[in-house]
């Protein structure tokens, strides 16, 4: 899942670099922020699962 999010983020960054219209830039920026937040959550969850103590 994180690979797909990382790919999406890179694509959105490329779109943002090439966007000319202000409204389009704002929309792409918003989508980029959501994708970055989703990646942060997914990464945190993965680390949490890896660091979880085994049940007693």
Confidence band for 46, pLDDT divided at 50, 70 and 90: confident
pTM: 0.80
Q: Could you give the CA distance from residue 15 to residue 7 in angstroms, rounded to a whole number?
A: 12
Instruction: State how far Cα 56 lies from the chain centre.
Output: 35
Summarize pLDDT for 17-43 with one digit per residue, the tens: 999 999 999 999 999 999 999 999 999
Q: Which of 5, 17, 11 is nearest to 45 (CA)?
A: 5
User: What pLDDT shows up at residue 56?
Assistant: 59
Average pLDDT, the chain: 90
Question: Is residue 28 a contact partner of residue 19, using CB atoms and an 8 Å limit?
Answer: yes
Q: Which sequence spans correspond to the domains of the chain? A: 2-51
């Amino acid at each position: 899942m994180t690979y797909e999010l990382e790919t999406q983020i890179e694509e959105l960054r490329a779109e943002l670099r090439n966007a000319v219209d202000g409204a389009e830039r704002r929309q792409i920026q918003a989508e980029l922020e959501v994708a970055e937040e989703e990646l942060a959550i997914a990464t945190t969850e993965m680390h949490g699962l890896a660091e979880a103590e085994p049940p007693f």
